[in-house]
Structure 1
Amino acid sequence: MRDRSGLSLEELHDETTYDRSYLHKLETGARLGSLEVMAALDKVYGTGDQLQQLWELARDDAFGSRYQRFMRLEREATVQYQYASSTIPGLLQTRAYATEVLEQARPRDAAALQEDVDARMSRQSILESEDAPYFRAMLDEAVFHRAASQPAVWLEQLEALLEWQKRPNVTLQLLPFSAGLHDLMGGSLTVLWLANGKAVAYLEGSKSGELVEDSGRVEELRLSYDLERDKALSPEQTTEFIQQLVKEIRSCLPAEPT
């Protein structure tokens, strides 16, 4: 597209202010870029939102083939149940919290990190659309004992959870340590129910993921989820727990100037 426009790489740099090396990596496919970058290039090339649309299509590839199919199914689901053992579920994360989580996942440069954060944030539209699925998340108590490194980031994330809890299609429940040992420990589980009545599950560890479509295995995982949900705090108790954490963090932060 740059060749068609007659612009040199140097001229494109001048037009967009993006680093020449970064622009070259975008052209060769070494970088996916972000929606913001694509909007800037669309403006320079006069291509409307063509590059932005292509970016959205290519974005799924950043998650790998196994996760790619799961994400397509996620967008089709009418009901979604999640269990999280160590971090806030991606659909509920704030940008600052997501950035810190993804920074720890694997080494990457700033541009690649930003791409992954943008992709994660864009998924939240699933819960905010007019036909949003019913979403239930069961959060292990360990999630709340593994705070973000910056109190302000953690406070923002907890307050975001309280806002999510207010939505009619979102329910959050805390699974306390008193629930004891269980077979969902050590990873996360998502169960999706599709409009056609089919259910699928996704098991995710720190370095791997598995899409489960066998109905027998999905039913076993759903049963495991239900057994632990019976031990979880109610949504109201969970809200009170988070509110108490917010209160404790606020008491430790410097007072805002009046």
Structure 2
Amino acid sequence: MRRLRREARWSQAAVGARLGCTQTQVSRLELASRTPSQSDAERLDQMFGLTKKQHFTLLYKRIFSHTGGPSWFLGWVDEIEPAAKVIRSWDPLLIPGLLQTEEYARCVFAQSPRITEEEVEARVRARLRRQRIFDRSDPPYLLVLIDEGVLRRRVGGPEVMRDQLDRLLAAAKLPNVCIQVVDPGCLAGMPGTFMIAEMPEGEPDASYTDSAAEGRISTNRDILASLSNRYEAIRRWAYPEHVSLRMIQEVREEWT
């Protein structure tokens, strides 16, 4: 809100006049010390020309919804992925969340330390909601790189793994999904999981990097350039798509 206000060269008092509140109340909104109302969100969308995107309205809904996901990941899930044109993903440890089956995701979340069954189910529901971006009329182009070891890393039992690899094979048939398996000799991908989102014209591209403690979302050009270079370095170790799918099928048969 503060960034958009400054770009519009409006004072807090000017925004307050449009919202029907005081300058102090606007300051509290920007500092997140005042809980916004739905009408605040709708007026802000109108004020900044974001009614079609429902930027502030979606933020409002996020505040009052139980997403089941960590707070630092919500910006990516709610704002970046739904609008992205292209998503590039690298994961050396697990099947990426956008392609996980319900049971695979449940098994992954259940291994989190000190997590309750209710929290596991909430996170599973959030993960399945996240995958709805593929239901839209113009879904993003998803480019997935996964380490070969992921196909053999046991998550749950053999049935869970077979269903998960079937999910990969089915997703690969979609015209907007490309899945490639990366040779385990690739060292460029060892630093960890990351995603790069190519956004519509006029919006900055974004990246997400993961760690054991938390993830980081960035639109910094230097970080994006570094991750893009790393992605290409990993991709050079990837098998062609048709070879990758044959490998997935072969490993699928091993899970008996």
TM over 0.5: yes
Aligned partners of 2:164, 2:179: CA distance in 1, in Å?
A: 14
SS in 2 for 1:123: helix
2:93–2:149: 8 Å Cα contact kept in structure 1? yes
Match of 2:46 in 1: none
What does residue 108 of structure 2 align with? 101
Q: How many Å apart are 1:143 and its aligned residue?
A: 1.1
Corresponding position of 2:210 = 204
Between stretches 165-174 and 191-200, larger displacement belongs to: 191-200
In the aligned structure 2, how far is the partner of 1:155 from the partner of 1:56? 37
Which residue pairs with 1:193 in the alignment?
Answer: 198
Unaligned runs of 5+ in 2: 1-59
Closer/same/farther in 2, CA of residues 140 and 159 from structure 1, 3 Å limit: same
Q: 1:163 & 1:108 partners in 2: Cα distance?
A: 31
Query: Do the aligned partners of 1:186 and 1:205 also contact (CA within 8 Å) in 2?
Result: no
The answer to whether the Cα contact below 8 Å between 1:175 and 1:229 also exists between their aligned partners in 2 is yes
How many residues get paired? 195
TM value normalised by structure 2: 0.71
Q: Which of residues 60, 69, 74 is equivalent to 2:75?
A: 69
What is the rounded CA distance, in whole Å, between the counterparts of 1:160 and 1:61 in structure 2? 23
Structure 2 distance, partners of 1:117, 1:223, is: 32
Kept after mapping to 2: 8 A contact 1:190/1:203: yes
Going from structure 1 to structure 2, the CA distance change for 1:61 and 1:157 (only over 3 Å counts) comes to closer
Q: Counterpart in 1 of 2:3?
A: none
Give per-residue Cα distances to partners, 1:158-204, cap 9 Å, x unaligned.
0010000000000000111133x21x314211000110252111100
Moved more, 54-63 or 151-160: 54-63
Aligned-partner Cα distance in 1 for 2:155–2:139: 28
Give 1:230's aligned residue: 236
The residue aligned with 2:156 is: 149
RMSD value, Cα: 2.0
* Aligned equivalent of 2:41: none
CA contact (8 A) 2:67 2:122 kept: no
For residues 57 and 235 of structure 1, the distance between their equivalents in structure 2, rounded to whole angstroms, comes to 42
Output aligned runs, 1:81-160, within 5 Å.
81-160=88-167
Aligned residue in 2 for 1:49: none
Q: How does 1:238-253 map to 2 (within 5 A)?
A: 238-249=244-255, 252=256
- How far apart are 1:208 and its partner, in Å? 1.7
